[in-house]
Amino acid sequence: MIDNGSDELVNGLWPFMKRALIIFLPFWVFLICWTIDLPLFLSSILAGLSLSSIIYFEKKKLNV
């Protein structure tokens, strides 16, 4: 079995949280941006950029 350090993040809950966040976080960001009347194009760009925050968090926590 491959030793994956991501199992140690957030007391072992990270693999499940990551799957849920990758699905729902862009949707939530899009809805928030749409609610505050940002243009559709800008809302979709910000929703896509929210995925990089998940990946950045994981890499930062694994390197520490």
What's the domain range around 38? 33-64
Q: Is the pLDDT of residue 28 over 80?
A: yes
Q: Is residue 60 part of a domain?
A: yes
pLDDT exceeds 60 at position 2: no
Query: Does residue 42 lie within any of the structural domains?
Result: yes
Residues of the chain above pLDDT 70, percent: 81
Total count of domains within the chain: 1
Q: Does residue 62 sit within a domain?
A: yes
pTM higher than the cut 0.75: no
Q: Is residue 45 part of a domain?
A: yes
47 within domain boundaries = yes
User: 36 to each of 17, 19, 46, 64, how far by Cα in Å?
Assistant: 27, 27, 13, 36
- Please, which pLDDT band fits residue 41 given cuts at 50, 70 and 90? very high
